[in-house]
Chain A
């Protein structure tokens, strides 16, 4: 790992001013993504601001739902009584991610900010528009190898089928974020220009012409917390994760479902998918279709077909074109039955 300066912040304000002052400065939360990327020289910070001492780890009831601090550990959130009772989808998604050890380290803020697991992004000898050319040592920042996207026309079985661009076809790897997308979360941030609230669907972005940018956070902004509005999905929630082994692997495809059922009727529904796009992928059309309908396999199939309308494979990931709709149907069936 390259050397860097280390500082510790005890207030959000100090953390924000430290990161704003000098370029090449990064917040350090659990470190499970950042330290990994630093060891591989994908990211070479000049300075780390340790934010682990910030008082941002509380999980508390609010007038409109639940507020989860950015520094709350993934395991603490997954095991929290209020989360398990009122937002079981979030518990399920968190517990489907990483390992028990990593969940004890990983924070909510860091999970939102984690980078893609595209193997070209990780391999600094390979072309990647998202990583950009990186070079360690005295020649830092100078072009290093070819630019372009290695995954297009390369090994891309983990990659996107929705919303990709000719610049990047990577997926956002988070499980937690699929639940937050389905549950209409809001991200509270603070920065040099003050505080703002970002609706979850606007937090992550599609790659477009700027694949370097994963999200809409502005330079110097610190995530403070995530708000979840109260909902009626607790009795019929399910997170289905399909992966190469039974546990401790990233999703090929995942589906988060929340249903509000009355008799056999779907009063309201939330659907989001992971492993398929550069951002957590909400299935708005499928939701619209299912609202007010009966919870039948025929309807689930039609909803899945609607969700897949604009899907596009890149060769090795073509299997997702079949796996994704089947997963949607499966997750909906399971969510209907749970209670």
Chain B
């Protein structure tokens, strides 16, 4: 295959052998049972497509402190990996297009939209989700993060759907040094939409954590 002619190690092709294997494998064998469909599939390059669709690439990423070794299709977003494969459903899917912030997580300490992040690009990274924010989250000594406590105290939510994203974003907002005034908080939190309109209370919660001076 032409794919094998890549220039040395500078271009990693994690999929080449896998693809080859899959092309011979059961998914396509099943398709071949319907002769006309199979012929058409080869004609249109659809066989490649099906091989790709079943293709799983290896990915190693640390999520909330735990190293995860998973196999995923290249088209899987970080959001879908978290929710569908790792069952970390705290991170929410709102718009799936970068427009609402419900999917906000930290990758190597930076807040990002998990819905527009291809999981494959997080290879070797550290991801923190809302599930990883509290300290020691099993047993009697479990303690919420100060931002989680402040959201509860100030009623920073109604339905709660946007809340994990709001909290992840709020923590990053303070760490970045963009929470010096309510105005600055409003601007730097604008990537998180709240359909219930809990904005006033969210700003209060963030300002309290910021002014409390605790390490976030």
Contacts and interface: CB of A to CB of B under 8 A. Distances in A.
Interface stretch (B70-78, B142-150, B151-159): B70-78
A39 B97 contact: yes
Interface stretch (B49-57, B83-91, B200-208): B49-57
Range of interface residues on A (Cβ < 8 Å)? 35 or more
A93 B172 CA distance: 21
Contacts of A137: 46, 49
Nearest to A17: B7
A147 B6 CA distance: 38
A178 B207 CA distance: 33
Contact of B15 (A6, A49, A73, A105): A6
A267 interface: no
Interface in B25-80: 40-41, 44, 46, 49, 52-53, 55, 57, 73-75, 77
Contact of B6 (A14, A38, A104): A14
A103 B40 CA distance: 44
A102 B190 contact: no
Contacts, number: 136
A6 B10 contact: no
Contacts of B97: 36, 39-40
Contacts of B44: 138
Interface residues of B, number: 54
Contacts of B77: 35
B46 A9 contact: no
* Best-surrounded residue of A10, A17, A248 (most CB of chain B within 10 A): A248
Nearest to B49: A3
Contacts of A32: 98, 113, 116
Given A11-B10, A17-B7, A101-B169, A138 B46 contact: yes
B187 interface: yes
Interface string B83-119: 0000000000000111001001000001111001110
A246 B190 contact: yes
Contacts of A9: 10-12
B111 A100 contact: yes
Given A35-B118, A39-B97, A248 B113 contact: no
18 contacts: A3-B53, A3-B73, A4-B74, A7-B6, A7-B13, A7-B14, A8-B12, A10-B11, A14-B7, A28-B118, A28-B121, A35-B117, A48-B118, A50-B118, A75-B110, A105-B112, A105-B113, A247-B190
Interface of B: 2-3, 6-15, 19, 40-41, 44, 46, 49, 52-53, 55, 57, 73-75, 77, 96-98, 101, 104, 110-113, 116-118, 120-121, 123, 169, 172-173, 176, 178, 186-193
